[in-house]
Chain A
Amino acid sequence: MTANSIQSPAAEHPAPKGAGPPMASIGNLIRRPETGSFIGLVCVFVFFAIFGGESFLSVSGLASWLNIAAELGIIALPIGLLMIAGHLDLSIGSVIPASSMMVAIVSGHFGLPMPVGIACSLMLGVAVGFLNGYLIIKTDLPSFVVTLGTLFAVAGLTLGISVLVAGSTSVALKSDPISKMIFGDFINGKFEVILLWWIAAMLFVGYILGHSKYGNWILALGGDKVSARNAGIPTDKLNVALYMASGLCAAFVGMCQAILYNSAQVSAGQSFIFNSIIAVVIGGVILTGGYGSVIGIVLGTMTFAIVNQGIYYTGFDANWASLIIGVLLLAAVLLNNSFRAMAISHAAPRVKPKAAP
């Protein structure tokens, strides 16, 4: 997924005037799937730099949106892979609080060592993901319905068990210094340590989608499920693995939040459902699957986070942020559509009269 990955044949195409390598690479750059998202990000950044002024551009301004982006980004990456594969996962909205509660109850309420609480928390996410994937491949129901079901089921379970076990919907957690340092601390007093995890996730998912055979499988699965299966791709296993990854990442974020805030609530996380979808769609992934890139998803996440936090630096009422996000989403989808059309028409045949058979 590097921008300079142009093979020589690209230059043979009638590129814009002076078809040297630099011009050809600009042409190819425009046809990349994430170009639209990049333009969106720049526009949004410039807008808030103008209206938010210096405090938005300051280190703490940067930290405020990067922290939001990191939490959302870790979830948006596997959600993006799922959407490229043609699925959705709504259940993350309750996996996040469920895993927060899990680590808080195991290590806070019962006082077991932190690693045990963290492991339980992550296992919970993987288990919900496995259940989602398993139900979807066995029932062949739309993933929207299945994960909507698990969203409510897990939310109910979290509430019920928390009250039953801890007697409260909010549980305090005092983590040991090492866990705190790895998962829930600040760097330089401003940047959450989860930012580093986000970068690691980007690199890993970027490798998976862009540079491993599994990325090809995911694109093929989203492009045409039947052809993918006929080509010998283990589509069922792939689906389950993608859901487990999404459950794991949601649990990871929930666990980090509990450690960061030293407590867990049963009702945190519903906003992540739509926010992650918005970030992924702004990033150029199409809802029907088969197309998308990690760079796009990261850019979409940053765009969302800038609007979400930047509004507080502008002096506008924060309620307007939702309006901006709504408009941005529609604009991004339209922009991405036209860039995708350009990418396709780039290889279209010279105009040929088509006769009916």
Chain B
Amino acid sequence: MTAPLLQLNSVNKSFGPIDVLHDISIEVKAGEVLCLLGDNGAGKSTLIRLLSGVHKPTSGEMLMNGKPVSFENPREASDHGIATVHQFGGTFPLMSIGRSFFVGAEPTKRWGPFEVFDRKKANEIAVREMRQLGITRITDGDRLVGGLSGGERQALAIARAVHFGASVLILDEPTAALGVKEAAHVLRIVLQARKKGIAVIFITHQVTHALTVGDHFAVLIRGMKAADFRKGEKTREEVTDLMAGGEAMAGLEAEIESHLH
């Protein structure tokens, strides 16, 4: 059994006196989708920021391929192959597809004494990589990102991460703002990334989406890991109940019941 690609061992994070994450241990292997489930405020965002190098853990250790790592900034995390795609794709609506695909890693060619941005190459690669993820509608890399649908923007961001050799792909609520068809497409893309041997961390509060693509699940409640299970071990209702904090949900149901009668 190989070591997990990315592993957190009893990680804590507090901001001043406030404990945001408490004793979190998770791991994800190559070619596996780990779903992080949790309600709003459960600490999902903070966990993403730890993984992507925005914050550093207060205590606990982070391992990649069994070796301890520590990120000073997002750049270091991405140098280690960790790519984060945010809800709205983290792309630039008024930039062309080719340009935004290569932000920070522009292909250049020499033109006399000048180093020029190779727009043709950038556009070709961006369009090709999106095509590989099943986005065939886009043929012109000069078009503006703002004209893409939400799912296509996710695809662009994921294609970008895959192209630049991400080994761990963190998807932050990729389906939250999408319609049903679009969300289904993004889920298919997640499975394609998984097939390429990428370790995917899929953050969501939509249980159905998680159960569709996940191999392994962790539920966060108020900064703590409340459950950790593998595919098929729990039903949708059980997971939803867990996320909402079982008893609290039952209490609410009783209250609604009493209002109705």
A positions within 8 Å CB-CB of B: 5-7, 9-10, 12-13, 207, 211-213, 215-217, 219-220, 223-224, 227-233, 286, 290-291, 340, 343-349, 352, 354-357
- A213-B140 contact given A220-B95, A347-B148, CB 8 Å threshold: no
Complex: chain A residue closest to B177, CB-CB: A357
Min C-beta distance of B82 to chain A, whole Å: 11
A-B pair count, CB < 8 Å, reads 129
Assess whether B106 is in contact with A227, with CB atoms less than 8 Å apart: no
Listed residue (B52, B104, B179) with the most chain A CB atoms within 10 angstroms of its CB: B104
Assess whether A357 is in contact with B178, with CB atoms less than 8 Å apart: yes
B63 in the interface (beta carbon within 8 A): no
Complex: chain B residue closest to A231, CB-CB: B104
CB contacts (< 8 Å) of B78 on chain A: these are: 230, 232
CB contacts (< 8 Å) of A354 on chain B: these are: 179, 182
B252 in the interface (beta carbon within 8 A): no
Cα A186 to Cα B118 with chains together (Å): 40
Which B residues from 176 to 194 make CB contacts under 8 A with A?
Answer: 176, 178-183
Given contacts A348-B149, A357-B180, 5 further A-B contacts (CB under 8 A): A6-B142, A224-B90, A232-B104, A290-B92, A357-B178
Cα A348 to Cα B147 with chains together (Å): 4
CB contacts (< 8 Å) of A340 on chain B: these are: 94
B positions within 8 Å CB-CB of A: 52, 74-75, 78, 84, 86, 90-95, 97, 99-100, 102-106, 108, 111, 114-117, 119-120, 123, 127, 137-144, 146-149, 152, 175-176, 178-183, 206
Assess whether B104 is in contact with A345, with CB atoms less than 8 Å apart: no
The contact of A219 among B94, B137, B143, B146, by CB within 8 Å, is B94
Cα A290 to Cα B94 with chains together (Å): 6
Assess whether B103 is in contact with A216, with CB atoms less than 8 Å apart: yes
- A211-B116 contact given A224-B92, A357-B206, CB 8 Å threshold: yes
Q: Which 5 A-B pairs have the closest CB atoms?
A: A347-B147, A223-B92, A347-B143, A231-B104, A213-B106
CB contacts (< 8 Å) of B147 on chain A: these are: 343-348
Assess whether B94 is in contact with A227, with CB atoms less than 8 Å apart: no
Assess whether B103 is in contact with A13, with CB atoms less than 8 Å apart: no
- A212-B117 contact given A7-B141, A232-B104, CB 8 Å threshold: yes
Assess whether A230 is in contact with B127, with CB atoms less than 8 Å apart: no
CB contacts (< 8 Å) of A9 on chain B: these are: 127, 139-141
The contact of A357 among B86, B149, B179, by CB within 8 Å, is B179
Assess whether A219 is in contact with B144, with CB atoms less than 8 Å apart: no
Assess whether B103 is in contact with A217, with CB atoms less than 8 Å apart: yes
Assess whether A343 is in contact with B90, with CB atoms less than 8 Å apart: no
The contact of B183 among A7, A211, A357, by CB within 8 Å, is A357
Assess whether A212 is in contact with B127, with CB atoms less than 8 Å apart: no
Cα A231 to Cα B103 with chains together (Å): 7
Cα A9 to Cα B84 with chains together (Å): 30
CB contacts (< 8 Å) of B180 on chain A: these are: 355, 357
Min C-beta distance of A271 to chain B, whole Å: 30
Assess whether B93 is in contact with A228, with CB atoms less than 8 Å apart: no
Assess whether B181 is in contact with A355, with CB atoms less than 8 Å apart: yes
Cα A230 to Cα B92 with chains together (Å): 13
